[in-house]
Amino acid sequence: MDFAYNDEQKEIIRVVRELVEKEIVPYTREMDETGKLHEGLLSKLAAQGLLGVAIPEEFGGIGLDAVTIGAIYEELAKGCAGVATTVAANALASYPVIISGNDDQKKRYFDIINKDSLAAFALTEPGTGSDAGSVSTRAVKTADGKGYMLNGTKCFITNGALAEVFVVFANTRKTGGIRGLTAFIVRKGTPGFTVGKAENKMGIRASNTTELIFQDCYVPKENRLGREGHGFRIAMDTLDAARPFVGAVSVGIAEAAFQACCEYAKVRVQFGKPIASFEMVQSMIADMAMQVAGARLLVQHACWMKDQGMEFSKEAAIAKCNASDVAMNVTTNAVQVMGGYGYIKEYPVEKYMRDAKIMQIYEGTNQIQRLVIANKTLY
């Protein structure tokens, strides 16, 4: 087990870091205020292959290992967690197809993403959060058996208004439940499929988050992923694969806040000396340093286990839960170290704090992660 980056990984990280400094950091406040990506940024991200990092090489992607993908997302999050979320959502939406798609589905789906396009993973509904088995969007097979009619509403969908292709989960059983959950590939512009309202969020504001509405939306049978009723397993395996990356984004947020407050503490003078010389501040900074380092290692460990083909569901939950808790704690303390200046938008730490909160919520709340960890540990 060696988490030292090799030369190729170091070069990838250097390129991403350079892109972040040049194309993201100067526009972070603008994107936070407008709730949109800076004009032209998506094409620049695509030009570096960042939209297809999880796509296998045989289908036109880069096919990077999880450890490297995690490092990329950490670097992106240091610049803007909203941008990192936009990019990471493509990996999240790719995993259901990687996990359960046939070769024809993979080719069709990934050809779309490879044309510099975004994708979206559509599971959550207004009445369905942690309880994926209660999905109420229905998929009713047509009389000729050649397709399905989808009806229902999804909410909190990252890239909802920007994506060209979606993986949508619907229930094929009248009685509902996890045994009826089924996954479908749906193209943007399909009749009966519309994008609803965009959410006005507290954090990760540069990422697009919307409703999706399905009203007699026809989906051909060949766009069904796996068997009917196989969707719950697809969704859970997908979330396992993606959770370490939420941890990686969380580490990036925490690292950025940590560095910002350290620099501030060295120049902020009170009582005739820098506050970095005060023991209470030093104690907070030491705690932050330990938490960030520990979170990064747990993320790398979960990614490494995935790359080795090992069972890593518990470790994915540990990495996500720990890193997002660390991000919330570190950003809160960074604001505290900076005092009133940490609370105003002229300085970046208040944004880091707002961005960190969602990391404890999406792709499985941290309460759910603790249940996963406990069950995997006990049973």
Least confident of 123-132, 295-304, 365-374: 123-132
For residue 130, pLDDT beyond 90: no
Quote the pLDDT of residue 217.
98
Same fold, 119-229 and 233-378: no
Return the CA Rg of the chain. Answer: 21
Give the right CATH number for 7-113 from 2.60.120.260, 1.10.540.10, 3.80.30.20, 1.10.600.10.
Answer: 1.10.540.10
pLDDT (average), residues 237-253: 97
**Tokens linked to 131:** 């309880």
The confidence band for 373, taking pLDDT boundaries of 50, 70 and 90, is: very high
pLDDT tens-digit readout, 193-213: 999 999 999 999 999 999 999
Distance of alpha carbon 341 from alpha carbon 84, whole angstroms:
26
pLDDT (average), residues 258-278: 97
Question: Under CATH, which architecture does the 233-378 domain have?
Answer: Up-down Bundle (1.20)
pLDDT (average), residues 254-268: 97
Neighbour tally for 56: CB within 10 Å: 14
For residue 1, pLDDT beyond 80: no
pLDDT (average), residues 322-336: 98
Neighbour tally for 104: CB within 10 Å: 9
pLDDT (average), residues 342-363: 96
Quote the pLDDT of residue 70.
98
> 84 burial class (0-12, 13-18, 19+ CB within 10 angstroms)?
buried
Quote the pLDDT of residue 41.
97
pLDDT tens-digit readout, 19-48: 999 999 999 999 999 999 999 999 999 999
Distance of alpha carbon 13 from alpha carbon 242, whole angstroms:
19
Q: Which amino acid is at 225?
A: L
Quote the pLDDT of residue 311.
96
pLDDT (average), residues 140-167: 97
Neighbour tally for 8: CB within 10 Å: 10
Q: Determine the topology of domain 119-229 in CATH.
A: Butyryl-CoA Dehydrogenase, subunit A; domain 2 (2.40.110)
pLDDT (average), residues 182-202: 97
Quote the pLDDT of residue 191.
98
pLDDT (average), residues 332-351: 96
The confidence band for 51, taking pLDDT boundaries of 50, 70 and 90, is: very high
pLDDT (average), residues 368-377: 97
Least confident of 37-51, 120-134, 137-151, 154-168: 120-134
Instruction: Residue 9: name the closest of 70, 61, 55, 60 by CA.
Output: 70
Distance of alpha carbon 353 from alpha carbon 330, whole angstroms:
8
For residue 140, pLDDT beyond 90: yes
Distance of alpha carbon 63 from alpha carbon 17, whole angstroms:
20
**Tokens linked to 368:** 């759910």
β-pair partners for 274 = 269
363 in catalytic set: yes
pLDDT (average), residues 46-58: 96
For residue 279, pLDDT beyond 80: yes
pLDDT (average), residues 277-300: 98
On whether the CB atoms of residues 125 and 212 are closer than 8 A, the answer is no
* Phi–psi pair at 184, nearest 5 degrees: -135, 145
pTM over 0.85: yes
The confidence band for 363, taking pLDDT boundaries of 50, 70 and 90, is: very high
Domain ranges for the chain: 7-113, 119-229, 233-378
Q: Beta 119-122 vs 165-171: how paired, if at all?
A: parallel
